[in-house]
Amino acid sequence: MLVPFRKMHGLGNDFIVIDARGAAATGPVAMSAARAAALAERRTGIGCDQLIMLEASATADVCMRIFNADGSEVEACGNAARAVGLLLGGEQRIETLGGAITSSATASGASVDMGPARFEWDAIPLAYPMDTMSMPVGWETLETPAAVNVGNPHVVFFVDDADAVDLARLGPVIETDPLFPEKVNVGVASVLGPSHIKLRVWERGAGLTRACGTGACAAAVLALRRRLVTGPVQVDLPGGPLEIAWTAGGTILMTGPAAHSFSGTFDDADYPL
């Protein structure tokens, strides 16, 4: 069966988007970790950081399932939420494993209400209790990070120069540390101004990407919580900037671009379950 897809991206964080909702698809579309990883492979598949499945939802306008490049299914993806918001248009309530979010399409992307931030150690989750605003742990020169769950788990280190950190080497070490029983996304951030930070992210199950929307939410919220900046916060990622607004006790609003790259089809027989 030929399965239609769209290739989209948010600041260079790229996605295969498959609409599997009833008549919108050519037929039932099944997805597994093996199929998602094969489609995500850049040399032998279509290539992407994440594969997005749009399915019918009983509680929202659409259900968004998110598979990382390694095939693992995860709870949230901010850049994908903007891409889906742009694709569907208008205002959409989107069901995810991390909770319901709301997108509002703009001319060049979307604003997405990502829901609340959670700081409890068992909501991250961590393996044992500790202060998540200043964690008494470290990996080489990366020390005393902060942690937050913004639909998925993040740990962020505030450093003088985010570009100087060997995140390609340290990222997977921290991601898979036993402290994080569900693994973790790893960010390194530098404060550039009163409402401006720079961020690089090692994504759980995907590695280094040009942009991470939930990572930008996490870094901005934690910088605000530590009173390093005032909001709204501009977060500069390798692929470009996002704007994050948050006040304590409220939800996180992320605004930024998304784009359609191309459309195509693949034969599901070429990508076994």
Which residues are identified as catalytic? 77, 212
Does residue 207 come out as left (phi exceeding 0), alpha (psi in the -120 to 50 range) or beta?
A: left
Neighbours of 192 (CB within 10 A): 14
Query: CB of 92 within 8 A of CB of 80?
Result: no
Q: Would you state the structure tokens that stand for residue 3, as one six-digit string?
A: 């399965």
Please name which of 68, 144, 54 lies closest in space to residue 103, comparing C-alpha atoms: 54
Distance of CA 156 to the CA centre of its chain: 14
Q: For 182, which DSSP code?
A: T
Amino acid sitting at position 234: Q
